[in-house]
Amino acid sequence: ELFEKKNYELRIAGGAVRDLLSGVTPQDIDFATTATPAEMKEMFTAAGVRLINNKGEKHGTITARLHEQNFEITTLRIDVVTDGRHAEVEFTTDWHKDAERRDLTVNSMFLGLDGTLYDFFNGYEDLKNKKIRFVGKAAERIQEDYLRILRYFRFYGRIAEKPGDHEPITLQAIKENAKGLAGISGERIWVELKKILLGNHVNHLVQLMYELHIAQYIGLPLDGNLEEFARVSKNIQNLSPKPMTVLTSLFKGKDDVTNLDLRLKISKEEKNLGLFLVKHRQELTKGPGPEPLRPYQDFLMDSREANTNSKIFELLKYQGEEQLLKEMQEWTVPSFPVSGHDLRKMGVSSGKEIGTALQQLRDEWKKSGYHMDKEELLSCLKKL
Protein backbone atom coordinates (compact mmCIF):
# COMPACT_ATOMS: atom_id res chain seq x y z
CA GLU A 1 0.00 0.00 0.00
CA LEU A 2 2.82 2.41 0.84
CA PHE A 3 4.51 1.73 -2.48
CA GLU A 4 1.26 2.00 -4.43
CA LYS A 5 0.41 5.33 -2.82
CA LYS A 6 3.72 6.75 -4.05
CA ASN A 7 3.43 5.06 -7.45
CA TYR A 8 6.52 2.90 -6.96
CA GLU A 9 6.36 -0.62 -8.38
CA LEU A 10 7.00 -3.48 -5.96
CA ARG A 11 7.38 -7.17 -6.88
CA ILE A 12 8.58 -10.36 -5.24
CA ALA A 13 11.96 -11.34 -6.72
CA GLY A 14 14.28 -14.27 -7.32
CA GLY A 15 14.29 -17.38 -5.15
CA ALA A 16 10.90 -16.79 -3.53
CA VAL A 17 9.22 -16.69 -6.96
CA ARG A 18 10.96 -19.92 -7.95
CA ASP A 19 9.80 -21.59 -4.70
CA LEU A 20 6.20 -20.36 -5.04
CA LEU A 21 6.01 -21.66 -8.60
CA SER A 22 7.40 -25.03 -7.42
CA GLY A 23 4.79 -25.28 -4.66
CA VAL A 24 7.40 -24.77 -1.93
CA THR A 25 6.95 -22.26 0.90
CA PRO A 26 9.79 -19.74 0.51
CA GLN A 27 12.02 -19.33 3.55
CA ASP A 28 12.50 -15.65 2.99
CA ILE A 29 10.88 -13.27 0.58
CA ASP A 30 12.92 -10.61 -1.16
CA PHE A 31 11.31 -7.71 -2.98
CA ALA A 32 12.48 -5.57 -5.87
CA THR A 33 11.25 -2.04 -6.53
CA THR A 34 11.63 0.99 -8.77
CA ALA A 35 12.02 3.20 -5.65
CA THR A 36 15.57 4.24 -4.75
CA PRO A 37 17.01 3.57 -1.25
CA ALA A 38 16.61 7.28 -0.39
CA GLU A 39 12.96 7.29 -1.52
CA MET A 40 12.25 4.11 0.47
CA LYS A 41 13.88 5.49 3.62
CA GLU A 42 11.84 8.65 3.42
CA MET A 43 8.63 6.73 2.78
CA PHE A 44 9.18 4.18 5.59
CA THR A 45 10.27 6.79 8.12
CA ALA A 46 7.20 8.91 7.40
CA ALA A 47 4.99 5.84 7.92
CA GLY A 48 6.76 4.94 11.18
CA VAL A 49 8.16 1.65 9.83
CA ARG A 50 11.34 0.57 11.57
CA LEU A 51 14.44 0.20 9.37
CA ILE A 52 17.18 -2.26 10.23
CA ASN A 53 20.53 -0.64 9.71
CA ASN A 54 22.63 -2.86 7.52
CA LYS A 55 25.36 -2.51 4.96
CA GLY A 56 23.15 -3.31 1.97
CA GLU A 57 22.28 0.27 1.21
CA LYS A 58 25.05 1.04 -1.25
CA HIS A 59 23.91 -2.00 -3.26
CA GLY A 60 20.37 -0.69 -3.07
CA THR A 61 18.91 -2.86 -0.31
CA ILE A 62 16.75 -1.51 2.51
CA THR A 63 15.58 -3.81 5.30
CA ALA A 64 12.22 -2.95 6.83
CA ARG A 65 10.94 -4.61 9.99
CA LEU A 66 7.19 -5.26 10.07
CA HIS A 67 5.25 -7.63 12.35
CA GLU A 68 8.45 -9.11 13.84
CA GLN A 69 9.78 -9.98 10.39
CA ASN A 70 12.54 -8.49 8.26
CA PHE A 71 11.83 -7.72 4.61
CA GLU A 72 14.62 -6.93 2.19
CA ILE A 73 13.62 -4.58 -0.61
CA THR A 74 16.17 -3.85 -3.31
CA THR A 75 16.13 -1.16 -5.95
CA LEU A 76 16.35 -2.42 -9.54
CA ARG A 77 19.96 -2.13 -10.63
CA ILE A 78 22.51 -2.69 -13.35
CA ASP A 79 26.05 -3.89 -12.67
CA VAL A 80 28.44 -1.26 -13.97
CA VAL A 81 31.80 -2.83 -13.07
CA THR A 82 32.37 -6.40 -11.87
CA ASP A 83 35.63 -8.08 -10.87
CA GLY A 84 34.33 -11.62 -10.44
CA ARG A 85 33.60 -11.03 -6.76
CA HIS A 86 31.93 -7.67 -6.19
CA ALA A 87 29.90 -5.42 -8.42
CA GLU A 88 29.44 -1.66 -8.53
CA VAL A 89 25.82 -0.92 -9.31
CA GLU A 90 23.68 1.88 -10.65
CA PHE A 91 19.94 2.06 -10.08
CA THR A 92 17.39 1.68 -12.84
CA THR A 93 13.62 1.41 -13.30
CA ASP A 94 13.99 -1.20 -16.04
CA TRP A 95 12.84 -4.63 -14.82
CA HIS A 96 14.32 -6.42 -17.84
CA LYS A 97 17.78 -5.00 -17.15
CA ASP A 98 17.63 -6.12 -13.52
CA ALA A 99 16.57 -9.64 -14.52
CA GLU A 100 19.43 -9.74 -17.00
CA ARG A 101 22.10 -9.46 -14.29
CA ARG A 102 20.73 -12.37 -12.23
CA ASP A 103 22.49 -15.74 -12.38
CA LEU A 104 20.06 -18.46 -13.52
CA THR A 105 16.83 -18.24 -15.49
CA VAL A 106 14.85 -19.92 -12.66
CA ASN A 107 16.08 -17.18 -10.30
CA SER A 108 15.41 -14.24 -12.63
CA MET A 109 11.61 -14.00 -12.40
CA PHE A 110 9.44 -11.40 -10.64
CA LEU A 111 5.96 -11.83 -9.25
CA GLY A 112 3.57 -8.91 -8.97
CA LEU A 113 1.52 -8.81 -5.78
CA ASP A 114 -1.55 -9.20 -8.03
CA GLY A 115 -0.21 -12.58 -9.20
CA THR A 116 1.26 -11.46 -12.54
CA LEU A 117 4.48 -13.32 -13.44
CA TYR A 118 7.22 -11.27 -15.12
CA ASP A 119 9.54 -13.70 -16.81
CA PHE A 120 12.01 -12.29 -19.35
CA PHE A 121 14.22 -15.35 -19.83
CA ASN A 122 11.86 -18.34 -19.91
CA GLY A 123 12.55 -19.15 -16.27
CA TYR A 124 9.10 -20.67 -15.74
CA GLU A 125 9.47 -22.90 -18.79
CA ASP A 126 12.90 -24.03 -17.50
CA LEU A 127 11.50 -24.65 -14.03
CA LYS A 128 8.68 -26.80 -15.43
CA ASN A 129 11.17 -28.72 -17.60
CA LYS A 130 13.62 -28.91 -14.67
CA LYS A 131 16.36 -27.23 -16.73
CA ILE A 132 19.12 -25.16 -15.13
CA ARG A 133 20.49 -22.48 -17.42
CA PHE A 134 22.35 -19.22 -17.00
CA VAL A 135 20.63 -16.00 -17.99
CA GLY A 136 22.06 -14.98 -21.38
CA LYS A 137 25.65 -16.08 -22.01
CA ALA A 138 26.98 -18.47 -19.36
CA ALA A 139 30.56 -17.16 -19.56
CA GLU A 140 29.47 -13.56 -18.99
CA ARG A 141 27.31 -14.45 -16.00
CA ILE A 142 30.13 -16.50 -14.46
CA GLN A 143 32.73 -13.78 -14.94
CA GLU A 144 30.52 -11.35 -12.99
CA ASP A 145 30.83 -13.63 -9.94
CA TYR A 146 32.72 -16.92 -10.15
CA LEU A 147 30.75 -18.37 -7.23
CA ARG A 148 27.92 -18.77 -9.76
CA ILE A 149 29.68 -21.93 -10.95
CA LEU A 150 28.85 -23.55 -7.62
CA ARG A 151 25.37 -22.02 -7.61
CA TYR A 152 24.78 -23.72 -10.95
CA PHE A 153 25.67 -27.07 -9.37
CA ARG A 154 23.59 -26.39 -6.26
CA PHE A 155 20.42 -25.59 -8.20
CA TYR A 156 21.07 -28.46 -10.56
CA GLY A 157 21.04 -30.75 -7.51
CA ARG A 158 17.84 -29.17 -6.32
CA ILE A 159 15.80 -28.95 -9.50
CA ALA A 160 17.12 -31.20 -12.28
CA GLU A 161 15.43 -34.57 -12.58
CA LYS A 162 18.38 -36.69 -13.69
CA PRO A 163 22.17 -36.41 -13.77
CA GLY A 164 23.94 -35.41 -16.95
CA ASP A 165 21.32 -33.07 -18.40
CA HIS A 166 23.61 -30.07 -19.07
CA GLU A 167 24.07 -27.86 -22.09
CA PRO A 168 27.57 -28.47 -23.51
CA ILE A 169 28.13 -24.72 -23.91
CA THR A 170 27.47 -24.24 -20.17
CA LEU A 171 29.95 -26.95 -19.15
CA GLN A 172 32.51 -25.41 -21.52
CA ALA A 173 32.03 -21.97 -19.93
CA ILE A 174 32.42 -23.48 -16.44
CA LYS A 175 35.60 -25.29 -17.41
CA GLU A 176 37.16 -22.20 -19.00
CA ASN A 177 36.36 -20.07 -15.95
CA ALA A 178 37.01 -22.59 -13.16
CA LYS A 179 40.23 -20.84 -12.17
CA GLY A 180 38.22 -17.77 -11.15
CA LEU A 181 37.07 -19.72 -8.07
CA ALA A 182 40.60 -19.37 -6.69
CA GLY A 183 39.79 -15.74 -5.90
CA ILE A 184 36.55 -16.45 -4.01
CA SER A 185 36.67 -16.60 -0.22
CA GLY A 186 36.62 -20.02 1.42
CA GLU A 187 33.60 -19.13 3.54
CA ARG A 188 31.44 -18.36 0.50
CA ILE A 189 32.55 -21.55 -1.25
CA TRP A 190 31.84 -23.71 1.80
CA VAL A 191 28.26 -22.38 2.10
CA GLU A 192 27.55 -23.48 -1.49
CA LEU A 193 29.50 -26.73 -1.31
CA LYS A 194 27.60 -27.90 1.79
CA LYS A 195 24.29 -27.40 0.00
CA ILE A 196 25.56 -29.33 -3.04
CA LEU A 197 26.65 -32.22 -0.80
CA LEU A 198 23.16 -32.52 0.69
CA GLY A 199 21.29 -32.16 -2.62
CA ASN A 200 20.41 -34.71 -5.32
CA HIS A 201 22.84 -36.04 -7.96
CA VAL A 202 25.75 -35.35 -5.60
CA ASN A 203 27.92 -38.12 -7.03
CA HIS A 204 27.39 -36.87 -10.58
CA LEU A 205 28.09 -33.26 -9.58
CA VAL A 206 31.31 -34.01 -7.69
CA GLN A 207 32.61 -36.18 -10.54
CA LEU A 208 31.83 -33.21 -12.79
CA MET A 209 33.84 -30.87 -10.54
CA TYR A 210 36.86 -33.08 -11.21
CA GLU A 211 36.19 -33.35 -14.95
CA LEU A 212 35.86 -29.57 -15.28
CA HIS A 213 38.98 -28.94 -13.13
CA ILE A 214 37.13 -27.09 -10.39
CA ALA A 215 38.12 -29.34 -7.47
CA GLN A 216 41.64 -27.96 -7.00
CA TYR A 217 40.38 -24.37 -6.61
CA ILE A 218 37.90 -25.16 -3.85
CA GLY A 219 40.10 -27.14 -1.48
CA LEU A 220 39.35 -30.68 -2.70
CA PRO A 221 42.26 -33.13 -3.12
CA LEU A 222 43.67 -33.40 -6.64
CA ASP A 223 43.47 -37.18 -6.52
CA GLY A 224 40.16 -37.48 -4.69
CA ASN A 225 38.91 -41.03 -4.19
CA LEU A 226 35.98 -40.89 -6.60
CA GLU A 227 35.16 -44.60 -6.31
CA GLU A 228 34.77 -44.34 -2.55
CA PHE A 229 32.73 -41.16 -3.04
CA ALA A 230 30.36 -42.96 -5.41
CA ARG A 231 29.94 -45.82 -2.92
CA VAL A 232 29.38 -43.63 0.14
CA SER A 233 27.07 -41.13 -1.57
CA LYS A 234 24.87 -44.13 -2.38
CA ASN A 235 25.09 -45.45 1.23
CA ILE A 236 23.83 -42.27 2.80
CA GLN A 237 21.01 -41.35 0.46
CA ASN A 238 18.23 -41.50 3.04
CA LEU A 239 20.23 -41.06 6.24
CA SER A 240 20.51 -37.23 6.47
CA PRO A 241 24.29 -37.13 6.85
CA LYS A 242 26.28 -34.01 7.69
CA PRO A 243 27.98 -32.46 4.63
CA MET A 244 31.40 -33.38 6.03
CA THR A 245 30.42 -37.07 6.23
CA VAL A 246 29.72 -37.14 2.50
CA LEU A 247 32.83 -35.14 1.62
CA THR A 248 35.26 -37.21 3.70
CA SER A 249 34.80 -40.16 1.37
CA LEU A 250 36.93 -38.28 -1.19
CA PHE A 251 39.81 -38.05 1.27
CA LYS A 252 42.66 -40.54 1.49
CA GLY A 253 44.14 -39.26 4.73
CA LYS A 254 44.17 -36.56 7.37
CA ASP A 255 46.23 -34.17 5.22
CA ASP A 256 43.25 -33.84 2.91
CA VAL A 257 41.12 -32.68 5.86
CA THR A 258 43.80 -30.15 6.87
CA ASN A 259 44.06 -28.77 3.33
CA LEU A 260 40.29 -28.42 3.07
CA ASP A 261 40.30 -26.50 6.34
CA LEU A 262 43.09 -24.18 5.13
CA ARG A 263 41.11 -23.29 2.00
CA LEU A 264 37.52 -23.21 3.33
CA LYS A 265 37.98 -22.40 7.05
CA ILE A 266 35.54 -25.11 8.13
CA SER A 267 34.36 -25.20 11.75
CA LYS A 268 36.31 -27.06 14.42
CA GLU A 269 33.49 -29.57 14.76
CA GLU A 270 33.51 -30.24 10.99
CA LYS A 271 37.26 -30.68 10.98
CA ASN A 272 37.15 -33.09 13.93
CA LEU A 273 34.41 -35.14 12.27
CA GLY A 274 36.50 -35.40 9.08
CA LEU A 275 39.57 -36.52 11.03
CA PHE A 276 37.50 -39.04 13.02
CA LEU A 277 36.01 -40.61 9.88
CA VAL A 278 39.33 -40.81 8.05
CA LYS A 279 40.88 -42.49 11.09
CA HIS A 280 38.14 -44.99 12.01
CA ARG A 281 36.16 -45.76 8.84
CA GLN A 282 38.19 -48.91 8.13
CA GLU A 283 38.80 -50.54 11.49
CA LEU A 284 35.73 -49.51 13.50
CA THR A 285 33.17 -51.77 11.84
CA LYS A 286 30.33 -54.01 12.99
CA GLY A 287 31.15 -57.00 15.16
CA PRO A 288 30.75 -60.61 14.01
CA GLY A 289 28.02 -62.78 15.48
CA PRO A 290 25.01 -61.76 17.53
CA GLU A 291 26.31 -58.39 18.75
CA PRO A 292 27.15 -56.28 15.70
CA LEU A 293 26.90 -53.03 17.72
CA ARG A 294 29.46 -54.04 20.34
CA PRO A 295 32.56 -52.45 18.71
CA TYR A 296 30.77 -49.09 18.47
CA GLN A 297 29.42 -49.34 22.03
CA ASP A 298 32.84 -50.26 23.40
CA PHE A 299 34.45 -47.39 21.50
CA LEU A 300 31.91 -44.97 22.93
CA MET A 301 32.36 -46.29 26.49
CA ASP A 302 36.16 -45.98 26.26
CA SER A 303 36.11 -42.56 24.67
CA ARG A 304 37.06 -39.54 26.71
CA GLU A 305 36.04 -37.02 24.05
CA ALA A 306 32.88 -34.96 23.74
CA ASN A 307 30.43 -35.65 20.90
CA THR A 308 31.71 -39.18 20.33
CA ASN A 309 28.20 -40.57 19.92
CA SER A 310 27.27 -38.10 17.15
CA LYS A 311 30.55 -38.96 15.37
CA ILE A 312 29.69 -42.65 15.61
CA PHE A 313 26.24 -41.94 14.13
CA GLU A 314 27.97 -40.24 11.17
CA LEU A 315 30.37 -43.19 10.82
CA LEU A 316 27.41 -45.60 10.65
CA LYS A 317 25.82 -43.43 7.95
CA TYR A 318 29.10 -43.38 6.04
CA GLN A 319 29.17 -47.18 6.23
CA GLY A 320 25.53 -47.39 5.12
CA GLU A 321 24.52 -49.29 8.28
CA GLU A 322 20.95 -48.06 8.46
CA GLN A 323 19.66 -50.68 10.90
CA LEU A 324 22.63 -50.37 13.27
CA LEU A 325 22.28 -46.59 13.17
CA LYS A 326 18.69 -46.88 14.41
CA GLU A 327 19.71 -49.25 17.21
CA MET A 328 22.68 -47.09 18.19
CA GLN A 329 20.48 -43.98 18.33
CA GLU A 330 18.10 -45.80 20.68
CA TRP A 331 20.86 -47.17 22.91
CA THR A 332 21.51 -45.20 26.07
CA VAL A 333 24.96 -45.24 27.58
CA PRO A 334 24.71 -47.23 30.83
CA SER A 335 26.41 -45.81 33.89
CA PHE A 336 29.03 -47.88 35.69
CA PRO A 337 27.38 -49.13 38.90
CA VAL A 338 30.42 -49.24 41.23
CA SER A 339 32.14 -46.25 42.85
CA GLY A 340 35.29 -45.76 44.91
CA HIS A 341 33.01 -45.31 47.89
CA ASP A 342 31.73 -48.91 47.49
CA LEU A 343 35.30 -50.20 47.47
CA ARG A 344 36.24 -48.27 50.62
CA LYS A 345 33.29 -49.89 52.39
CA MET A 346 34.81 -53.24 51.41
CA GLY A 347 38.10 -52.26 53.00
CA VAL A 348 40.14 -51.22 49.96
CA SER A 349 41.85 -48.15 51.32
CA SER A 350 44.70 -46.84 49.17
CA GLY A 351 43.80 -44.60 46.25
CA LYS A 352 46.09 -46.53 43.94
CA GLU A 353 44.43 -49.84 44.74
CA ILE A 354 40.98 -48.33 44.31
CA GLY A 355 41.96 -47.06 40.84
CA THR A 356 43.30 -50.48 39.79
CA ALA A 357 40.28 -52.32 41.17
CA LEU A 358 37.83 -49.97 39.42
CA GLN A 359 39.63 -50.47 36.12
CA GLN A 360 39.49 -54.28 36.50
CA LEU A 361 35.78 -54.13 37.30
CA ARG A 362 35.13 -51.86 34.32
CA ASP A 363 36.79 -54.48 32.10
CA GLU A 364 34.59 -57.25 33.55
CA TRP A 365 31.53 -55.07 33.15
CA LYS A 366 32.43 -54.36 29.54
CA LYS A 367 32.92 -58.10 28.86
CA SER A 368 29.42 -58.73 30.19
CA GLY A 369 28.01 -56.29 27.63
CA TYR A 370 27.46 -53.71 30.43
CA HIS A 371 24.87 -56.01 32.07
CA MET A 372 26.51 -56.88 35.43
CA ASP A 373 25.01 -55.00 38.35
CA LYS A 374 26.72 -53.71 41.49
CA GLU A 375 26.30 -56.95 43.49
CA GLU A 376 27.72 -59.14 40.75
CA LEU A 377 30.65 -56.81 40.22
CA LEU A 378 31.51 -56.61 43.93
CA SER A 379 31.38 -60.40 44.33
CA CYS A 380 33.65 -60.51 41.28
CA LEU A 381 36.06 -58.23 43.12
CA LYS A 382 36.37 -60.74 45.95
CA LYS A 383 37.47 -63.37 43.40
CA LEU A 384 39.93 -60.91 41.85
Mean pLDDT of the chain: 91
Decide which of 76 and 357 is more confident. Answer: 76
| pLDDT at 126 (0 to 100) | 96
pLDDT above 80 for 381: no
* Alpha-carbon gap, residue 380 to 383, rounded angstroms: 5
The mean pLDDT value for 30-51 works out to 93
At residue 320, the 3 state secondary structure works out as coil
- Parts of the chain belonging to CATH 3.30.460.10: 1-128
pLDDT tens profile 237-287? 889 999 999 999 999 999 999 999 999 999 999 999 999 999 999 999 998
Nearest to 36 by CA among 1, 81, 3: 3
The mean pLDDT value for 6-22 works out to 95
pLDDT above 70 for 384: no
* Alpha-carbon gap, residue 266 to 102, rounded angstroms: 28
Distant-in-sequence, close-in-space partners of 176: CB < 8 Å, separation ≥ 6? 139
Q: Specify the range with the lowest mean pLDDT, choosing from 84-93, 272-281, 295-304.
A: 84-93
pLDDT tens profile 329-362? 998 877 888 877 777 777 777 777 788 888 888 8
| pLDDT at 84 (0 to 100) | 65
The mean pLDDT value for 133-151 works out to 95
pTM to 2 decimal places: 0.86
Q: Taking the CA of residue 250 as centre, how many other CA atoms within 13 Å lie in the half-sphere pointing to its CB?
A: 23
Give the C-alpha distances (Å, rounded to integers) separating 116 from 17, 21, 94, 119.
11, 12, 17, 10
The mean pLDDT value for 178-191 works out to 96
Q: Specify the range with the lowest mean pLDDT, choosing from 211-225, 226-240, 261-275, 288-302.
A: 288-302
The mean pLDDT value for 108-131 works out to 96
Element (H, E) at 165: none
Superfamily of structural domain 1-128: Beta Polymerase, domain 2 (3.30.460.10)
Percentage of residues in the chain with pLDDT exceeding 90?
71
* Alpha-carbon gap, residue 228 to 225, rounded angstroms: 6
* Alpha-carbon gap, residue 251 to 312, rounded angstroms: 18
* Alpha-carbon gap, residue 372 to 362, rounded angstroms: 10
Distant-in-sequence, close-in-space partners of 17: CB < 8 Å, separation ≥ 6? 109, 110, 111, 117
| pLDDT at 128 (0 to 100) | 96
